[in-house]
Amino acid sequence: MLLSRGIPPHLPVQIIDGNVDSDAVGALRGACATGKVALLVTVMPGPQLRVATPLCRELKARNPELVVVWGGYFPSVHPEAAARDAGVDVVVIGQGEGTITELLGAIDGGADRLVPGTAVWRDGRLVRGEARAIVVSERYGATPFASVAMERYAARTFLGKRTFNLHTSVGCPYLCNFCAVVNLYAGRWLPDSAAHVVGEVQTLVSRYRADAIEFHDNNFFAWEKRCREVADGVRGLGIRYWGEGRVDTMLGFSGATWEAMSASGLAMVFFGAESGDDEALERMDKGGLRVADTRALNRLALRHGVVPEFSFVLGNATDPERDVHLSLELIRALKADNPACEIILYLYTPVPLPGQWDEAKRLGMAFPETLDGWLAPPWSDFDHRRTASTPWMTRALREKVYDFEAVLNARFPSWTDRNLGPLQRRILSTFARPRWRFGLHQSPVELKLLQRAWGYRRPEEMGF
Ligand code: B12
Ligand code: SF4
């Protein structure tokens, strides 16, 4: 929807969204059947890649006039693999709005030039246009909510009955070397102004009866002043909200800002705790973050009635055993300090950035060069960060993580899960209590069976 702001007004646009359209594939087949059509596809690694690859190939084979443009995280991070595929004509790297205006103008006018921000596969190699500077999103105007059927996006979540998503900044000012955001934005961060953000929230509340907002910015809480102004602006609107932030940044916020955010409806913040090992954090280029900061933040958030949601990226290539061991210990300590904190466990999967990726390459890793390579095992699971098979992560270590997680999730069922009823929560928690108390995490078959039977969903499966 944001991208549609870049499309020249005289070109007819149809937005097809696999998240909400029950027959998105049928709609695409219809829209792309004949004539000169530009199909703009957003592709994340994982499930989107699996669907987009064969479909784009099929659509292009049926209609030779179709121009397929891929953008988003996957083609931005792995442009070669995407651009060389028969189903893809042009790859857009990074922010899309400005690029798409120019690219569609070129396609419409029949020009065959390489637009800045794009790349194509020519003569057996990737040819890139000039890099395009990123632009503050606000410059493209208000989010065109009316361009989609907003009712279909009002989601019932643990935050509220009508939760909408917003994106209010481009990039992130940090350079963590495991994060694809750095591939796209290289440490640049351009936030919309607080006034703009408040205006967007007001529109969602007054026009679409929003009672909750998820801010999907990479780093919503990067700048205290903006957080404070947004908090003051949305206070009294009756919303609850969630966003992603950094432990070290928010630890430095004043008590007054925390109070303002809490009073304005801030319910939960997603933090990259990443590891319980200071050495691993250093190797990840976490910008000086320390394990002690995560513990301090946990207590600070508790005092202000905000639930911290800590995400871990486990299995550092250099010393995965130590990383996992210390991280699981940290999680036990975090739960002891604040049982309400939420924990999300991912396995570390590298992106092509200097640092850990160099170590991964030394250990024999190389990314697939084609989309077929990405779709075949073990890569098909890679970016899920759950079952990823990396050379340094042994099966036993993976199992240790998932056994631990099963006990953790049973002892402290996530509040983001809406499948479990109160009784089921109580039963799970009671069953898991002795295991958690005495650290008996190994092979919790009974807990795994119960969770599967009751359809328990981990926090990240709920959209975080
Ligand atoms: C919302 C979200 C989700 C939602 C997706 C809902 C949906 N299906 O749309 C959910 C929770 C389901 C999800 C799941 C996953 N996600 Co996710 N997700 C995000 C998040 C928070 C926001 C994405 C977003 O909408 N941004 C807003 C838009 C405006 O920004 P954008 O996507 O970057 O788009 C801009 C440009 O990329 C470009 N662009 C994008 N598409 C296109 C298309 C064209 C044609 C053009 C020209 C340009 C263009 O223009 C846009 C505007 O400038 C991002 C982090 C982030 N804040 O970006 C992670 C992120 C994209 N997710 C990520 C991952 C890994 C996943 C998963 C694979 C794994 C996981 N376990 O989380 C799954 C699988 C997703 C799938 N279905 O395939 C990673 C990707 C990392 C990587 N290596 O590429 C990210 C970057 C998080 C991170 N920091 O690690 N995710
Ligand atoms: S702070 Fe978060 S979003 Fe920013 S680079 Fe680090 S991991 Fe990525």
Residue 136, C-beta contacts closer than 8 angstroms, at least 6 positions apart: 170, 190, 191, 192
pLDDT digits (tens, 9 = 90+) for 333-355: 999 999 999 999 999 988 999 98
Residue 381: pLDDT band with limits 50, 70, 90: confident
Q: Give the phi and the psi of residue 44 in degrees, each rounded to 5.
A: -95, 160
pLDDT digits (tens, 9 = 90+) for 170-196: 999 999 999 999 999 999 999 999 999
Residue 461, C-beta contacts closer than 8 angstroms, at least 6 positions apart: none
Q: State the CB neighbour count (10 A cutoff) for residue 238.
A: 12
pLDDT at 1 over 80: no
Give the model's pLDDT for residue 416. 84
Q: How far is the CA of 101 from the centre of ligand 2 (A)?
A: 28
Kindly report, as residue ranges, where domains of CATH 3.20.20.70 are found in the chain. Answer: 137-362
Pairing assessment for the beta strands 118-122 and 90-92 based on DSSP bridges: antiparallel
Residue 110: pLDDT band with limits 50, 70, 90: confident
Residue of 73, 170, 179, 223 to test ligand 2 pocket, by largest number of atoms within 8 Å of CB? 179
Query: Are residues 437 and 372 in contact, defined by beta-carbon separation less than 8 angstroms?
Result: no
Q: What is the largest CA-CA distance in the chain?
A: 69
**Residue nearest ligand 2's atom 1 by CA:** 174
- Residues 143 and 127: their CA atoms lie apart, in Å, by 32
Give the model's pLDDT for residue 390. 83
Check residue 214 and report its DSSP letter: E
- Residues 181 and 183: their CA atoms lie apart, in Å, by 5
| Ligand 1 pocket at CB < 6 A | 2-3, 19, 40-42, 44-48, 69, 71-74, 77, 92, 95-97, 99-100, 167, 179-181, 216-218, 351, 383-385, 460, 463
SS3 162: coil
pLDDT digits (tens, 9 = 90+) for 258-288: 999 999 999 999 999 999 999 999 999 999 9
Question: What percent of the chain lies above the pLDDT cut of 90?
Answer: 83
Give the model's pLDDT for residue 464. 41
SS3 118: strand
Q: Taking residues 33-62, what's their average pLDDT?
A: 95
Q: Give the phi and the psi of residue 433 in degrees, each rounded to 5.
A: -55, -50
pLDDT digits (tens, 9 = 90+) for 430-464: 999 999 999 999 999 999 999 899 988 776 665 44
- Residues 293 and 325: their CA atoms lie apart, in Å, by 19
- Residues 3 and 141: their CA atoms lie apart, in Å, by 11
What are the CB-based long-range contacts (under 8 Å, 24+) for 6-13?
6/96, 6/97, 6/98, 6/99, 6/100, 6/101, 6/140, 7/100, 7/101, 7/104, 8/101, 8/104, 8/105, 8/108, 11/104, 11/108, 13/147
Query: Are residues 213 and 241 in contact, defined by beta-carbon separation less than 8 angstroms?
Result: yes
**Residue nearest ligand 1's atom 24 by CA:** 216
Q: How far is the CA of 269 from the centre of ligand 2 (A)?
A: 14
Overall CATH class of domain 137-362: alpha beta
pLDDT at 378 over 50: yes
pLDDT digits (tens, 9 = 90+) for 49-78: 999 999 999 999 999 999 999 999 999 999
Does the domain spanning 3-128 belong to CATH 3.30.1490?
Answer: no
Amino acid at 287: G
pLDDT digits (tens, 9 = 90+) for 247-261: 999 999 999 999 999
